A and B are shown apart, each in its own frame.
Chain A
Amino acid sequence: MKTTPPILVAKEITAGYGNQVIIRNINLELYKSTITTIIGPNGCGKSTFLKSISGIIDPVEGRILINDIEVTNLNTFELSKMGLGYVPQSENIFPSLSVIDNLKMGGYILDNQKYKINLNKVLEMFPDLKSKLFDSASNLSGGQRQMLALSRALMLDPKIIMLDEPTAGLSPVIVDEVLDNIISLKKSSITVLLVEQNAKKALSISDKGVVFSFGKKVMEDDAKNILKNKQISKLYLGG
């Protein structure tokens, strides 16, 4: 896995909200066409880490590099131009817009031709959205919303995509569908960084697992090894 240089490097990231530091000195490397899952208890800083990478919150300390280019403190919209996609846990669609307009906003910076190509591509990936294109996004079900959020993020052809609890609140059948979509992202050479509460299922499709606790990275290993780890299994994977 580590024969090629990492596509994203987070070095010693410390971040939080206002004066409150949530995560401290987190290091992480992501490699092309891999799935990395971050697990850990609620409030351990998983989402904060994704937000600091995506530029929604500025890290207090640390550096972020994409393809060896320094992107620390770069504007969020500039990061998205550089191929970093992010799907937040909640409020991840524009409810006042229609489904097609959500996708249009996903491809806001694309020229018309590229927008049409990418639109067809994501609609092939998520055919359920085809019949809902002119419906208001606020009328979609939970699963459809997640599909729309993922499609919107894919409109810019991201090289890296960060998904914050994409299966939260979904029925088991839809969870499997979402995880299948994540596997297909990897097959399309997209690097995936996943934060998931369905830790067992997420690790089962991942190459690498990372464990956060109290704002720190406490473990990083192959996903298979983490799944086999009895202590981790007892603490975070439901025994």
Chain B
Amino acid sequence: MKKLDILLDNKILSLIIIVICLASFLKPWLLINGILIGSLYSLGSIGLSLIYGNLKFANMAHGDFMTLSSYIALTLMMFLFPNSENSTSVGPFTFKYELLMVMPLAVIIIGFMAVILDKLIFKKLRKLNATSAAIALCSLGLAVSIRGLIQFIWGTDSARFPRESKLFWDLPFRIKIPPDMFFCSVVAVIIAIIFYLVLFKTTLGKAIRATSDNPDLARITGINTDRIILYIWFIGGILAATAGILISVQQALITPVMGWKILIPLFAAVIVGGIGNPIGALIGGILIGITGELATGWINPSYKPAVYFFVLLIVLLLRPNGILGNKGRQF
């Protein structure tokens, strides 16, 4: 009930909800699309917010972790299942069973890669007491490097997972849902719920939040914060990789710059929701997804990034700490 009060007390959120309701009433199919896409943004932004909340810097390489996960999944699929192009797809979805088999492997690889990158780069910067801005700039360099590596290995052309075309689901009110989008959103929601349970119901999750609150106090308490930071990178990597693969499935396209492009709505979602706040990132992701999609009913879809920034601007002008700000549970 307390959380509901926080949401209802929030005038700006109420205003945005009214606008969204009006637009949704006129074009409900866009609302559904927005919720589905927003759930994927939420998954990406929760990982981004987790890193920011604990390590106090904006990880510019998060989007490229997402891209890399898709290419790794694609390579694993081609390598382990060379005939997957001819195999049957999963039920009403376009993707093949083989993708479901390689996805956990690719996700874990990215999780470990994030841990290794922390050990090689970010831990050293922390030891040197580098500022948040310096570490963020370093992550930008890492992002460009990962993108360069992707283009070097897989080329600059787009790719896609082996797929089989399927019909959209026709629902009332002219709502048409691509089955893949529904699947991806359900998986994103399930992973977000698991993440929430880990963060708020397990001792490890509480130790992560304690480290975020006060790293010195966490160490005094006996928590090995160096190890906690590795868990944070692992979880952040897993969330980024899962979101990356799901977005590639949903868009039926993998490009070297897809992660970089999606970083804009992800950052908007994190800031709109309240930096370092997992519930905020979830709400921010859905909100950015919905507003972006609803806007396409009236303006050219290529202006979507401008809509994200417009929402970001409005929220920050009226509520500089984001929608939930410091009210919700922080990491």
Contact = CB atoms under 8 A, between A and B. Distances in A.
A97 to B, nearest CB: 6
Interface residue range, chain B = 20 to 34
B220 A108 contact: no
B15 to A, nearest CB: 28
B198 interface: no
A77 B213 contact: no
A152 B225 CA distance: 17
A96 B220 contact: no
A127 B59 CA distance: 44
Interface string A52-70: 0011100000000000000
B302 interface: no
Contacts of B225: 77
Given A77-B219, A80-B221, A96-B330, A105 B212 contact: no
A212 interface: no
Contacts of B331: 96
B209 to A, nearest CB: 5
A114 interface: no
Interface stretch (A2-10, A87-95, A229-237): A87-95
Contact of A75 (B210, B213, B217, B219): B219
A105 B220 contact: no
B329 interface: yes
Contacts of A101: 206
A80 B214 CA distance: 16
A106 B207 CA distance: 10
Contact of B217 (A55, A92, A104, A156): A92
Contact residues of B: prevailing secondary structure = helix
A80 B217 CA distance: 11
A104 B210 CA distance: 11
Interface string A102-142: 00111011000000000000000000000000000000000
B230 interface: no
Nearest to A102: B210
A190 B90 CA distance: 64
A93 B214 CA distance: 8
Contact of B207 (A91, A95, A105): A105
B218 interface: yes
Which of B207, B218, B222 lies at the interface centre, i.e. has the most chain A CB atoms within 10 A of its CB? B222
B209 A97 contact: yes
A31 interface: no
B146 interface: no
B219 A97 contact: no
Which of A80, A94, A106 lies at the interface centre, i.e. has the most chain B CB atoms within 10 A of its CB? A94
Contact of B221 (A55, A96, A106): A106
Interface in B185-214: 203, 206-207, 209-210, 212-214
Which of A77, A81, A93, A156 lies at the interface centre, i.e. has the most chain B CB atoms within 10 A of its CB? A77
A86 interface: yes
A152 B217 CA distance: 10
Contacts of B220: 54, 56, 76-77, 80, 85-86, 88, 153
Given A56-B219, A77-B222, A105 B214 contact: no
Contacts of A153: 220
A88 B206 CA distance: 20
20 contacts: A54-B220, A56-B216, A77-B222, A80-B219, A80-B221, A86-B220, A91-B214, A94-B214, A94-B218, A96-B212, A97-B209, A97-B210, A101-B206, A104-B203, A104-B206, A105-B218, A105-B221, A106-B222, A108-B207, A109-B222
Given A80-B219, A105-B223, A108-B221, 14 more contacts: A54-B220, A56-B220, A75-B224, A77-B220, A85-B220, A94-B213, A94-B214, A96-B329, A97-B209, A97-B210, A104-B203, A108-B203, A108-B223, A153-B220
